[in-house]
Amino acid sequence: MTIGDVVPRRQCRRQAIHCSQATGVSPASVSCPTLTVLSWLAGTPSAGSEISGPEVGAEAVLSVAQAMVANPKVLGPGVSRSDLDQLFADDHVHAALVIDDGRLITVIQRTDLEDSLPDAGPCSLGTLTGRVVAPDAPRAAVHARMRKEQRRRLAVIDESGRLLGLLCLKKSGTGFCSDADVRSRELERDRGSDSRETR
């Protein structure tokens, strides 16, 4: 699946039904993201063209899958508003990934909480539109567009909607966070917590 690929509306409808079954919300009230994979990146190639993988014999193009965090923190469909508020209390968190049975239901950003009612459910809070990317999308093009639009996070999903990882643009904008970076930050946070407890 490349940047020009579009997930059919029937899959979008399945995603709404899946979210409904997981949360008890009526499918009619679940917003249906058209799921144009990286639709916000459609303006990168020239008109009528697509960004796709390298031709045979061409120099290898690095993909999003090679830069993503493979084991991002995820939340289940029963996540509460207090869970989300606690998660976003960490300044390093820019997106909450809500999954059910391995499939991504929605991506919630901090601004979604600011603009929502206190009792709003997770499916009504976030969206997948503009917040997902295919694993084989070219990393350089995605990096350039994320910097241009100041977008810090994109969930990486396959054609079935299964979550594969998270693309995390560093604050400096010079590159992407790795699994090692995430582990290092967690260790630093744990050491800081232990230090405060022993005072």
Contacts 24+ apart (CB under 8 A), 14-21: 15/103, 15/105, 15/128, 15/161, 18/100, 18/103, 18/105, 19/77, 19/100, 19/105, 19/106, 19/123, 20/123
Domain membership flag for residue 2: no
Residues 6+ apart with CB under 8 A from 13: 27, 32
Q: Which of 23-27, 94-98, 128-132, 173-177 has the lowest mean pLDDT?
A: 23-27
Domain membership flag for residue 4: no
User: What confidence tens digit (pLDDT) does each residue in 150-177 have?
Assistant: 999 999 999 999 999 999 999 999 999 9
Tokens of 147: 């910097």
Can you give the pLDDT at residue 72?
93
User: What confidence tens digit (pLDDT) does each residue in 133-150 have?
Assistant: 999 999 999 999 999 999
Can you give the pLDDT at residue 187?
74
More confident residue, 79 or 30: 79
Domain membership flag for residue 3: no
Q: Measuring CA to CA, which residue among 29, 30, 27, 35 is closest to residue 9?
A: 35
More confident residue, 52 or 148: 148
Average pLDDT along the chain: 74
Distance CA 107, CA 104 (A): 8
Domain membership flag for residue 65: yes
Three-class SS of residue 129? coil
Determine the structural domain holding residue 173 and report its residue range: 9-53+60-197
Domain membership flag for residue 176: yes
Domain membership flag for residue 108: yes
Residue 168: DSSP 8-state: E
Instruction: Identify whether the C-beta of residue 101 lies closer than 8 Å to the C-beta of residue 74.
Output: no
| Number of domains, the chain | 1
Q: Measuring CA to CA, which residue among 187, 195, 197, 182 is closest to residue 68?
A: 182
Q: How confident is the model over 117-123, as a mean pLDDT? A: 75
Examine the pLDDT at 91 and tell me if it is beyond 70: yes
Tokens of 33: 């993201």
Can you give the pLDDT at residue 29?
43
Distance CA 195, CA 192 (A): 5
Domain membership flag for residue 64: yes
Domain membership flag for residue 74: yes
Can you give the pLDDT at residue 164?
97
For residue 108, give the CATH number of its domain.
3.10.580.10
User: What confidence tens digit (pLDDT) does each residue in 58-70 have?
Assistant: 446 899 999 999 9
Residue 75, amino acid? L
